[in-house]
Structure 1
Amino acid sequence: MTYRTLHALTCAALLAATPLAAAQPMNAEEFDAYTRGKTLYYGQSGQAYGVEEYKDDREVVWSFLDGECIEGRWYEDARGYICFVYEDDRLGPQCWQFFRAPGGGLTAIFEDDTAVPLYEAGESDEPMQCLGPEVGV
């Protein structure tokens, strides 16, 4: 991990600690306008968490930074949550509320509100590195 990445994670962790009670969650149009065409890195509790590439037509590619990627789509549900469904569909929809962080970037709170929030830790113009599933004989 580079100093720049570590610095971004530390700053994002401090920003994520800011209360979101007064903030309004992003709706589908706001989320799409912010994310489309970007590759965003997310952190949690000062640690790298994952990366997601946001494509046209609400298509995404997610990775836990392990080189394995999974394709999916997102949609806004009736509650206003941004929900992700991935090709393996093992967990069903993963629904989040996304907020614009006071210092920039995003903060995401999972629908059950018991998990530690994720926060945008960086952005890249480079496509994700997806190595594919494990290859063996």
Structure 2
Amino acid sequence: MRLALAALLLTALPALAVETPLSAQQFEAYATGKTLTYSLSGEVFGTEQYLPNRRVRWAYTGDICQEGHWYEDADLICFVYDGEPEPQCWQFWQTETGLHARFNNDPEGTELSEVEQTEKPLYCAGPDVGV
């Protein structure tokens, strides 16, 4: 019985490790200098460029870019963007396929998955291009 319980616990440990949220230092080390594209339910949702000093540039797919910054709040990574003073806080964790993010206090369980990674900057079209 004890051996079976020990074996069960050991096989469950990797699954638990996957759900351990990244610390701010881990998130910063992973993301800084990269541009990550995220999907929601299999559809591309948006792309974020992670700049030095915890600055970010975000764009929903097909939308204009927003400048902002991020900070740590407990085990959450919170983003504040120009023109949107309300922080948007997420829990990030790393898997074999990249980052996953779960929106804080979301009854719908919004979860994003990293689907692309590059070191190229995020292309930002202006709002008045072609006018």
TM-score (norm 2): 0.80
The alignment partner of 1:30 has SS state of helix
Structure 2 counterpart of 1:12: none
Unaligned runs of 5+ in 2: 1-14
Once the two structures are overlaid, the 10-residue window that deviates more, 25-34 or 59-68, is 59-68
d(CA) in 2 for partners of 1:22, 1:55: 26
Higher RCO (C-alpha under 8 Å, 6+ residues apart): 1
d(CA) in 2 for partners of 1:136, 1:22: 46
Aligned pair in 2 of structure 1 residues 37, 80: CA closer, same or farther (>3 Å)? same
Structure 2 counterpart of 1:89: 84
Q: What RMSD, in angstroms, separates the aligned Cα atoms of the two structures? A: 2.0
C-alpha distance after superposition, 1:108-132 (max 9, x if no partner) = 0000142331010111222111012
d(CA) in 1 for partners of 2:83, 2:17: 34
Letter in 2 for 1:98: F
- Written as runs of structure 1 = structure 2, the 5 A alignment for 1:64-79 is 64-77=60-73, 79=74
TM-score (norm 1): 0.77
Structure 2 counterpart of 1:10: none
Structure 2 counterpart of 1:15: none
Structure 2 counterpart of 1:29: 25
Say which structure is richer in strand.
Answer: 2
d(CA) in 1 for partners of 2:119, 2:84: 28
1:55, CA displacement in angstroms? 0.4
Task: Report percent identity of matched pairs.
Answer: 45
d(CA) in 1 for partners of 2:70, 2:25: 12
- The aligned length equals 116
Aligned pair in 2 of structure 1 residues 72, 106: CA closer, same or farther (>3 Å)? same
